Amino acid sequence: MEAGMGRSLPEAADAVPFTPSGDSRRVAAIALDRTLTGGINSGNNSGDQGLLVVVEPRDRAGRALDAPADLSIAVLDPALKDTDGKALRIARWDFTAAETAAMFRRAGAGRAIHLATAWPGDPPKHNKLHLFVRYVTADGRKLDANQPIEVALPGEQTAGWTPGDSNARTSDSTPYMATRSDESQLRRPVWSPERR
C-alpha cells in the first residue's frame, strides 16, 4: 500500500496554518511529501473522496521555503489510455499564488503547501494512479515533481485511520487530527532481557 492511502485526515495533528513570506524566485525545486501525499477520506465513507498533495518549495541548498506560487496538479490513470496510447488524465486542479499562500502549513520544522482536493467528478476506476505537480515561480520558471500514488476505491476500506469526534473540529475549516479511542489500552513497553 502506498504511503498516504486511505487517510481520513488531511494533515498531521501539529500542522498549523501560517502566512508565508518567501519569494518564489528563490525556489530551485519542489518536492512532494511522500508520507502525507495520497488519498483522503472523510471518515464516513468507503473509498477516498479526494487527495491531499503536500508540496515543499526548496532553495538550492534543499531548505524549505514558504514561497507561494501558481500550482497545477494533474492525476493520470496508467490503466486508461487516450487515442495516442498515453495515460488518461482523470483530474486536474489549478491554484493561484494567492490560493496556495492560504494553504501553507507548519508542522514541526517543516513548511509546505497542503492541498486537500475532492475528486472533480466520479472517483477513479483504478487505485494505482500517477500524480504530477507543476509550480510556476514569479519569474516564470516551471518546476515539476511527480510520484505514483494509490487510493482506496469506492467499496474498499481505507487504511485504518478513524475520524475524531466531529465536535473536536475547529470553527474554521482547518483540518483536524483524529484521536485514538483506545488510548487507555496503550501501555509503555517494559524492558526485559528475554524480550525478542
Over 70: is that where the pLDDT of 46 sits? yes
State residue 23 phi and psi, 5-degree precision.
-110, 125
Alpha helix ranges (H) inside the chain:
97-101
Question: Quick one: pLDDT band at residue 13, thresholds 50, 70, 90?
Answer: very low
| Interval 15-36: pLDDT, tens | 788 889 899 999 999 999 998 8
The residue assigned the cell 475528486 is 119
Q: What is the pLDDT of residue 82?
A: 87
Contacts of 52 (CB under 8 A, 6+ apart): 4, 7, 10, 11, 36, 37, 38, 39, 40, 114, 115, 116, 117
Q: What is the pLDDT of residue 12?
A: 46
Using CB atoms within 10 A of its CB, is residue 118 exposed (0-12), middle (13-18) or buried (19+)?
middle
Q: What is the pLDDT of residue 169?
A: 30
Region of poorest pLDDT, from 8-12, 41-45, 64-68, 114-118:
8-12
Question: Which amino acid is located at 34 in the chain?
Answer: R
| Interval 149-191: pLDDT, tens | 999 998 876 554 333 333 333 333 333 333 233 333 444 455 5
Q: What is the pLDDT of residue 16?
A: 84
Looking at every residue in the chain, the average pLDDT score rounds to 78
